[in-house]
Structure 1
């Protein structure tokens, strides 16, 4: 017994020392995940589901989104039991369900009435989340009626409330409606941002009713921007999301199919436009909404126009303008007038068409609809030309041309936004990996700092074990450092290179300008030429031969750029078929001559592809004789100026260079044009 007690004490002390030594190595750390700081989202359905009749009411709500008659019957059974008088939440959901039912049955004013009752109920009972929900519904109703000012007021307040209480599922609906308003108003960049905000939230709610709606609305942006491949991509994605959803609201797919038919109308694809319209017609039969029926009339009129059945198209346009409650929906009425005017022009009734288009423009201007005004100006120009009023025809063609130029800029901005979104997402992923690695390195560094004193303290017991483990840890640290350095090098290279052509990308151009701006010694006696180069008719290549052949052409063009330019020249793939070239002017070499030789290099030898040899030409807009100081300080303005000259080169025949001198070392008097 006398021996056992000391042995027990020695064992306890030894184990304690061992645990104390092993602690810094993390072997005994709690492996449970760190507690999340993410704020819990507010979900009213969870509150409802916890109540006695909550599941029945939620089932009625879901049913009301796609079958008004059946939902009304189920609601009546609950009402007979007095269910909705037992709890405030029951009453709130009753108003929301009745709003859905009235919308399905086409009773717009009744639906608005229930929404207003919901808003009053929320105010009387001081229910903040319910107020935000009512504001969202009122905003949607105002948007459909073209009252964007009031709708934006409701949406702004709704977003503020939803953010404050983390009501993410409602924020998705609010962002979608804001995107719709900006899309109609022609602010495509802002619309795109709102839709993408909604999509980021949808990631946490894959079954959300608005998932396919947002994707469908994004497709409409690209239709307006004439980005057909992108529009079709979003349409197909929205279809998949819709069909995999648990609850199907027929109006959602009907609008999606109408968008698809509209896209094929602009592409003069009669067969697919008709097919999409016929599919949409099936779903409209399940939805009594007057607005949706007016949209379908307009789509039918457009399809008939494509089929050159102008008389029938005119008749359907009349049906659209005479449809029930059409005056409540100014955008739909304006679109019907536009379709009618198009058919009147085809039938030679040009005076009537002019009158219809002037009415449509009044509606579009009240709605600030850029796309509608642009289309109307184009048709007015055509109608006046056929009437022999050349001055009026020219006036409206200029208005159409100006708006079309803005649309071209919006299209480029849209591409830039997509590229930036993609790059930022990739950068964020790499940054997160880097932060995790740095965190691990800090932990290892802390272990090394505390290791010395702890090992000395317990050296008599486990010196060999501690030394071996330290060596192993140091080797691990060195290995992780090596991997991290390799990873960082790869990230820099990936972030500044275009994956398809191997050329530098916009990120490298920004780095170049930063260096130029930081090192003032580089400003002395240096001049540059900044040029934007764009392949002519590249869309035709993609349309006729496919995007794979288009990619082959881009790769070959990039090789010729690299072969023709000096190693000191900078060539950037800016996006799509557009490139930016920065040439440093040395030894009195004329940069315009160099660009002209580059045009000949592209034009004189066809591009070999797997499909066939393809001839390609370049249009170039350039600003020459730029000082280094001006380039560093005003790069955005210079790019914009070069882009304007590129646009002029495109509009005046393509296959040419249009340039302006900034007179760093004067060699040009003004703007020059060079035919390649």
Structure 2
């Protein structure tokens, strides 16, 4: 009887301890959610690979990007076998391959014909993925002709279809094309958004052919924003990606090297500009398209201009303008006319330069490229001034002024995205830390599953020992979870702070607006003031004293902001030397008086640095009397209005506050 009681007691204690030990492993939680990844990426290449001639067609498609002769040879052999009569899938890949070949040869009309046939096939056979591919190809053809509106319509429909069927390969391509169109329309922020969407998908499609292209196109944005170091960095990154995949079309490297040459042209470095041009010229092949030939010839013209070989530069521009097929490429024609005009002005041929610039404006207008048109207006103003025609010079200077204002606002808007990109870079680094932690958690989960078996086998022999082990393990897990929570809270704080000045960043501003909208703030009935503050001639500080001294100036300016603003006022580093201030008007102190106090604190006392005392002034654009409702609904428009007043402050002498239009 005593034995039965002892065994029963041991069994009871053992089962109780076993259940207690199994609880942390989640095996007793019936309601615990099970994560299932239901995402299935559509891939027509996989469908084709299962067919008898699938691999031959895929090889032909690969060749079509970098070796037209081999691609046509493969297609001809398959055509003789009658392969393309067997399946709509074969026909689709035939049209895609031929479209690529024609684009590579610069035969845009023929490429359009094959893309149109691809679209007809899609509609006849009700193949949505084929339709998405055809629309994407037609968009590329329309973009090269300068018909951006039609290209946008095609791309938007292509993206819609691709999202519905999860066709990531064509989504990446379409996002790249949308980014290119946004660049041509001088919408740099929107372009960055599209490129980052494409790169997000590339994370799971690392071998995608457009990986190098998207990185290279990000470099183009920085060229327009005159961020030369970042442009070169992206070009180098794109070249490295290109070199890792031998299947990529040579045209990618041609464009990258000519862009590199153009960066050094803008910097006035004739040696490096020519080195990059020489490398670009080596990538040209006998079947290179008119577009590529024009890009390389224009690069050579710019190099010759830097080397003061103006007659030779004009001759290369003329070669560009007489290329077969250049008539269908308004962007390249416009650039060649502009390069020719530059050299004519250097030779004093102002009449010829004016003709070239007018022709360039006409070509640029076909693609609505504000930045190019604006720069041409500036050159026209200079040419007419040199001829003594002050009336025409003033006319074009006004056009340049208005265009430059529009481009400047586009650039200011894009700073928002540049800041976001900087944050994303920091977030990526933080994500690596989080990923490590997640991997550790996964390892712990595997370890806990292993322990289940060990505990079941050992519970009879070593109940107390197993209990102590599991309790220790739970304490370890709890400790790591607490560490994770602490790390995550720190990451959240870091994500809303500017690393240099310690001020809040744009992400915090978004949270501030969201809190107003959600009614979590006690300031819904208050009146607000928004100010955009920009340090005057700050680029000169960096150029004359170096970026380290510039950083010290920014840190000191941030301290003065905090000392002269109330704790309830919001001060944000918006990007570079630009800051945003949001003042809630309470009590008897008017917001403008606060801003005058901040303004005086900056201008009245030099900033002490290792390079000596540096005088800094501040321009401020202000919008006052803003209701909480208006701030929630129209903060973007209010920022734009403040930015316009800042622009006015900058162009009417700087070092002032403007609160009215």
Q: 1:374 — aligned with what? A: 374
Which structure 2 residues correspond to residues 75-474 of structure 1 after superposition, within 5 A?
75-285=75-285, 287-420=287-420, 423=423
Structure 1 residue 657 corresponds to structure 2 residue 656: yes
Q: 2:454 — aligned with what? A: none
* Cα displacement (A) at 1:482: 4.8
Q: 1:446 — aligned with what? A: none
SS of residue matched to 2:580: strand
Q: Given that residues 173 and 198 in structure 1 are in contact (C-alpha distance below 8 angstroms), is that contact kept between their aligned partners in structure 2? A: yes
Q: 1:448 — aligned with what? A: none
* Cα displacement (A) at 1:326: 1.1
Which has the larger displacement, 420-429 or 339-348? Answer: 420-429
Matches of 2:510 and 2:91 in 1, distance apart? 57
Q: Deviations over 1:230-268 (max 9, x none)?
A: 322221211111111241311111111222222222232
Matches of 2:40 and 2:92 in 1, distance apart? 23
SS of residue matched to 2:656: strand
* Cα displacement (A) at 1:44: 1.5
Which has the larger displacement, 397-406 or 515-524? Answer: 515-524
Relative distance call for 1:194 and 1:570 in structure 2 (3 A) is closer
Q: 2:24 — aligned with what? A: 25
SS of residue matched to 1:623: strand
- Number of equivalenced pairs: 629
Relative distance call for 1:296 and 1:425 in structure 2 (3 A) is closer
Relative distance call for 1:287 and 1:250 in structure 2 (3 A) is farther
Relative distance call for 1:530 and 1:168 in structure 2 (3 A) is closer
SS of residue matched to 1:212: helix
Gaps of 5+ in 2: 442-461
Relative distance call for 1:504 and 1:284 in structure 2 (3 A) is same
Matches of 1:186 and 1:155 in 2, distance apart? 18
Relative distance call for 1:606 and 1:242 in structure 2 (3 A) is same
Q: Given that residues 607 and 616 in structure 1 are in contact (C-alpha distance below 8 angstroms), is that contact kept between their aligned partners in structure 2? A: no
Structure 1 residue 644 corresponds to structure 2 residue 644: yes
RMSD of equivalent CA atoms? 4.2
Q: 2:65 — aligned with what? A: 65
Q: 1:597 — aligned with what? A: 600
Which has the larger displacement, 387-396 or 86-95? Answer: 86-95
Q: Deviations over 1:363-404 (max 9, x none)?
A: 222321212211221111111211222122122112212222
Q: Given that residues 61 and 97 in structure 1 are in contact (C-alpha distance below 8 angstroms), is that contact kept between their aligned partners in structure 2? A: yes
Q: Deviations over 1:455-500 (max 9, x none)?
A: xxxxxxx998999799779867975775466346424532332111
Matches of 1:7 and 1:463 in 2, distance apart? 15
Q: 2:617 — aligned with what? A: 618
Q: Given that residues 532 and 622 in structure 2 are in contact (C-alpha distance below 8 angstroms), is that contact kept between their aligned partners in structure 1? A: no
Structure 1 residue 607 corresponds to structure 2 residue 609: yes
Q: Given that residues 304 and 312 in structure 1 are in contact (C-alpha distance below 8 angstroms), is that contact kept between their aligned partners in structure 2? A: yes
Q: Given that residues 354 and 380 in structure 1 are in contact (C-alpha distance below 8 angstroms), is that contact kept between their aligned partners in structure 2? A: yes
Matches of 1:246 and 1:651 in 2, distance apart? 51
SS of residue matched to 1:388: coil
Q: Given that residues 529 and 585 in structure 1 are in contact (C-alpha distance below 8 angstroms), is that contact kept between their aligned partners in structure 2? A: no
Q: Given that residues 250 and 286 in structure 1 are in contact (C-alpha distance below 8 angstroms), is that contact kept between their aligned partners in structure 2? A: no
Q: 1:41 — aligned with what? A: 41
Q: Deviations over 1:485-517 (max 9, x none)?
A: 634642453233211122233344556667788
* Cα displacement (A) at 1:210: 0.8
Q: Deviations over 1:302-338 (max 9, x none)?
A: 2222222222222222111111111121222222222
Q: State the TM-score, normalizing by the size of structure 1.
A: 0.80
Q: Given that residues 514 and 632 in structure 1 are in contact (C-alpha distance below 8 angstroms), is that contact kept between their aligned partners in structure 2? A: no
Matches of 1:519 and 1:50 in 2, distance apart? 58
Matches of 2:20 and 2:563 in 1, distance apart? 63
Which has the larger displacement, 142-151 or 577-586? Answer: 577-586
Gaps of 5+ in 1: 441-461, 661-669, 672-676
Matches of 1:142 and 1:347 in 2, distance apart? 37
SS of residue matched to 1:292: helix
Relative distance call for 1:510 and 1:56 in structure 2 (3 A) is closer
